[in-house]
């Protein structure tokens, strides 16, 4: 089933204790597509400036990413510069230049309007609503947001919640949105406002899937070396949505599997700078890592005996 | 199989956003025993002052805790006073008065020296070594410590590591001990210094069991209301060790189950102030919660189909 992502296409300059990049391809749509395309073709809607090194995106195209929804506009590309703390647990944004992204008004090519699985990356909720207006029959819509929109466009964000199936945010965003520091109560708050499910990303602590009846927890994959946390959340979203689109199965067991595929993609994302790692990840690698998650968390009940 | 704990027996005065206690029974040995005794009898070694409300411990005795190793000494009992942050994620110790605990030299009653499962709660590593000298044939020794000993008695602590099977510490302690912020590398560091296993407690994010071959992760139980995190780590240890003592089974699958029993006890601990919650927890409650963990983390691989 067709899978579409709308989000940022950026040039990232990131410094971690282990190295740095300058103007490397990044942004939510790029991380989503790089991860998701390993499982299923991805249609990308976004904008780049006239200075964007389009060759950097061509490798995505070779891997099943449809870039016909990427508009090239006159002006500078979106640039983001950040520096991580020594333990990668926090980061400081040093510079954000929106460039052509500031005037971005997503317009879907006609073929994209039949999209069944839709991920609305972190952009203005007004634009997210505008994208949904162009897609008449989605099977599943998931949506990210960030603190900036939670504060500056809260009403539109609440309107958006009434039209999506899954809100997928990190724990800090869930807390800010709901005003509740307890993450499980924050998830309930979200479910009362429209979405059938909340996916809460917890960085090095994994992610939660909460619906009305159950909670599913997937931990983060144990990694002895983490190089760059940038984009892990979007890679998670790419793995999650691409697994669902590939299987076209929204039953609870498959949603749980999708969480594990998401966590696997998140773990690959942090093993190298930017989207580099995905150039080498195969479907077999993904499956091996999914089995690794099973090994990591599996235990057998043994109720027949003491105690 | 016999199960013994050595640790503090304190009077805790704790303030959280949800209330406060004054001089409530606490300390590592008390939390361990209150949780563990639900699964298996526990022998306690510790010291209290002449002012200790022994009646408060009698309820433990009724639940299978052997207090014959608890010495009552002239002087004041160990008192600890702390205040938690609004989100319970951090706490400030307002006062620590060691009292008779400062002169504590654990001396095991003869019957306790046959202990097979031994938990050395967080006390001076010199005393922990002294306890081990009195137990000739333990089947399994697990040990906790804290930053204070990591800094002030590092050599003795490293000596202790050569004599124990499991180091059970929280993530900050593992990082300080190893000098490595990556928790998986920190665990490897521990395994290279003697213990067969490292159990790393991560508070609201659960716990890890790391041995030479595998890593097992148990998340924390999803709770919409947490009242007092005090003692959760010791209750975890109590559940973990009591499950092992009750089953006398150190195979990998049973060690994983023990982690889940530990996590279940940790989740009960935080649902009320001090050890109060354990007065009402039944074996059936524990088993139900263990099944709850299974529901929380279970997913099925589905490798027969796409993607």
Which string of DSSP letters, residue by residue, matches A160-192? HHTT-SEEEEEHHHHHHHHT-SSHHHHHHHHHT
Is the Cβ of B243 closer than 8 Å to some Cβ of chain A? yes
B302 within domain boundaries:
no
Banded model confidence at residue A56, pLDDT cuts 50, 70, 90:
confident
In a mutational test of the B interface, the residue from A89, A171, A299 whose CB has the highest number of chain B CBs within 10 Å is A299
How big is the A-B interface in CB pairs under 8 Å?
113
B93 forms bridges with which residues in the sheet?
A: B82
Give yes or no for residue A49 having a pLDDT over 60: yes
Q: Tokens 């009646």 belong to which residue?
A: B55
Report the DSSP pairing between strands A91-97 and A10-16: unpaired
Chain B partners within 8 Å of A224 (Cβ): 182, 184-185, 188
3-state secondary structure A121-147: CCCCHHHHHHHHHCCCCCCEEEECCCH
Task: Using CA coordinates, name the residue in chain A closest to B287.
Answer: A303
ipTM above 0.90, yes or no: yes
From the list B214, B224, B257, the residue facing A182 with the nearest CB is B224
Q: For residue B206, what is the domain's CATH number?
A: 3.40.1190.20
Among residues A148, A96, A91, the alpha carbon closest in space to that of A122 is found at A148
> What pLDDT does residue A190 have?
98
Domain assignment present for residue B62? The answer is yes
Say whether B297 and A202 touch across the interface (CB within 8 A). no
CB contact under 8 A, B217 and A297: yes
Specify the pLDDT at position A86: 86
User: Which among B217, B297, B301 is the nearest to A291, CB-wise?
Assistant: B301
pLDDT in 10s for each residue of chain B, 307 residues: 999 999 999 999 999 999 999 999 999 999 999 999 999 999 999 999 999 998 889 889 999 999 999 999 999 999 999 999 988 888 999 999 999 999 999 999 999 999 999 999 999 999 999 999 999 999 999 999 999 999 999 999 999 999 999 999 999 999 999 999 999 999 999 999 999 999 999 999 999 999 999 999 999 999 999 999 999 999 999 999 999 999 999 999 999 999 999 999 999 999 999 999 999 999 999 999 999 999 999 999 986 654 4
Quick one: pLDDT band at residue A24, thresholds 50, 70, 90? very high
Strands (E), chain A: 3-6, 10-16, 19-20, 24-26, 42-49, 65-73, 78-84, 91-97, 117-120, 140-143, 166-170, 197-201, 207-210, 215-218
- Nearest CB to A181 within list B87, B206, B222: B87
Residue from A97, A117, A86, A95 nearest A4 by CA:
A117
Residue with tokens 């006073």: B81
At A200, list the tokens: 């809460």
Q: Is residue B160 part of a domain?
A: yes
The answer to whether B297 faces chain A, any CB pair under 8 Å, is yes
Residue B96 lies in a domain: yes
Collect all residues with Cβ–Cβ distance below 8 Å to B82 and sequence separation of at least 6.
B12, B13, B14, B15, B91, B92, B93, B94, B230
Q: Do B182 and A225 touch (CB under 8 A)?
A: yes
Nearest to A296 among B215, B243, B246 (CB): B215
What is the mean pLDDT of the segment spanning A289-303?
94
Please tell me whether the peptide bond between B307 and the residue prior to it is cis, using omega within 30 degrees of 0: yes
Residue of A nearest to B289 (CA): A301
Q: B306 lies in a domain?
A: no
Answer yes or no: do B182 and A224 touch at CB < 8 A.
Answer: yes
* Residue A306 domain-assigned (yes or no): no
CA atoms within 13 A on the CB side of A166: 28
Within a domain: B11 = yes
Q: What pLDDT sits at residue A176?
A: 96
Residue of chain B whose alpha carbon sits nearest to that of A186: B224
Can you give the residue range of the structural domain that contains B80?
3-297
Band of the pLDDT at A298, cuts 50, 70, 90? very high
B182 contact residues in A (CB cutoff 8 A): 223-226
Give A-chain residues touching B297 at CB under 8 angstroms. Answer: 216-218, 297
Phi, psi of A66 (to 5 degrees): -90, 110
Q: How far apart are CA B45 and CA A262, in angstroms?
A: 47
Per the structure, the count of domains in chain B is 1
Determine the pLDDT at residue B302. Answer: 82
For chain B, what is the largest distance between any 2 Cα atoms, rounded to a whole number of angstroms? 71
**Is residue A304 domain-resident?**
no
Closest by Cβ to A296, choosing from B216, B226, B253: B216
List B4's β-bridge partners, or say none.
Answer: B43, B118
CA-nearest of A135, A77, A128, A81 to A105 is A128
Could you say which DSSP state residue B299 is in?
-
């Amino acid at each position: 089933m067709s899978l579409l992502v709308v989000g940022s296409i950026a040039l990232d300059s990131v410094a971690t204790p282990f190295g740095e990049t300058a103007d490397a391809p990044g942004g939510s749509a790029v991380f989503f597509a790089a991860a998701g395309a390993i499982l299923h073709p991805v249609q990308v809607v976004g904008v780049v400036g006239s200075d964007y090194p389009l060759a950097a995106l061509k490798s995505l195209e070779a891997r099943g990413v449809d870039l016909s929804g990427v508009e090239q506009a006159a002006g500078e590309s979106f640039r983001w510069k950040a520096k991580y703390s020594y333990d990668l647990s926090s980061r400081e944004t040093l510079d954000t230049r929106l460039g052509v992204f500031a005037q971005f008004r997503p317009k879907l090519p006609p073929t994209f309007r039949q999209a069944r699985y839709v991920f609305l990356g972190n952009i203005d909720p007004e634009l997210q609503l505008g994208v949904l207006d162009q897609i008449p029959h989605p099977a599943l819509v998931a949506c990210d947001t960030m603190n900036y929109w939670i504060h500056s466009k809260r009403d539109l964000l609440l309107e958006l919640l009434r039209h999506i199936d899954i809100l997928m945010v990190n724990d800090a965003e869930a807390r800010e949105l709901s005003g509740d520091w307890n993450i499980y109560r924050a998830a309930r708050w979200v479910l009362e406002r429209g979405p059938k499910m909340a996916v809460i990303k917890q960085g090095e602590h994994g992610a939660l899937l909460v619906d009305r009846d159950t909670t599913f927890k997937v931990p983060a994959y144990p990694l002895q070396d983490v190089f760059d946390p940038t984009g892990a959340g979007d890679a998670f979203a790419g793995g999650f949505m691409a697994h669902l689109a590939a299987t076209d199965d929204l039953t609870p067991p498959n949603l749980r599997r999708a969480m594990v595929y998401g966590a696997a993609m998140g773990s690959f994302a942090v093993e190298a700078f930017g989207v580099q790692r995905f150039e080498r990840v195969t479907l077999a690698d993904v499956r091996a890592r999914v089995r690794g998650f099973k090994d990591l968390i599996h235990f057998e009940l043994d109720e027949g005996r003491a105690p």
